[in-house]
Structure 1
Amino acid sequence: MSALDRHSSAIVAERPAAISEALRGLARAFANRRQLDHLRDLSDRGLADIGLMRLDLDFARRAPLGVDPTRRLASVARERAHS
């Protein structure tokens, strides 16, 4: 078996794992998008207690479908806490 054959075999073996990981990430993003709806139920004061504003929820909701909106919210809350 040549080095090229071994390299090709390794790529093919890694592909299912990469696809599986991508699908898990996509499922996690969709689940967290549903959780975003629960945050909408909080009062403005409740959102402020966790470092967010209602506008932040709209910002996170506008993220592309495959992007986890909770990552955007965490980033906004961190930036606000350091300001």
Structure 2
Amino acid sequence: MQANLDLKLGSRAFFQFLHRFHVVIFVLVVIGGLAVATLLLTTAMNTPSPDTTATTNASSVPVIQTETIQRVKELRTDSTPLVLPPGRTNPFN
């Protein structure tokens, strides 16, 4: 009988504790969960995969095709004057 009475007192004290601090416990659990999620996302975003270093070095060299350069040169030569509509000024002069 005594063990049963102690169990009821213990459970009642536990539920009173939960009733009194349920908001604080909830806030701590939510903030802790957000902190863990942020840490995991930051770690996942900042960890490079082993293959990215080789492709980064290869893709950092710009390749411009000679055909594209020729098409740009055909658009306008440097010797022709730039004609702007009235009231406009050339911002590059």
**Is the structural similarity TM-score above 0.5?**
no
The TM-score with structure 1 as length reference comes to 0.38
Q: What TM-score do the two structures reach when normalised by structure 2?
A: 0.35
Higher RCO (C-alpha 8 Å, min separation 6): 1
Q: Which structure has the larger Rg over C-alpha atoms?
A: 2
Give the number of the structure whose residues are more often helix, by fraction.
1
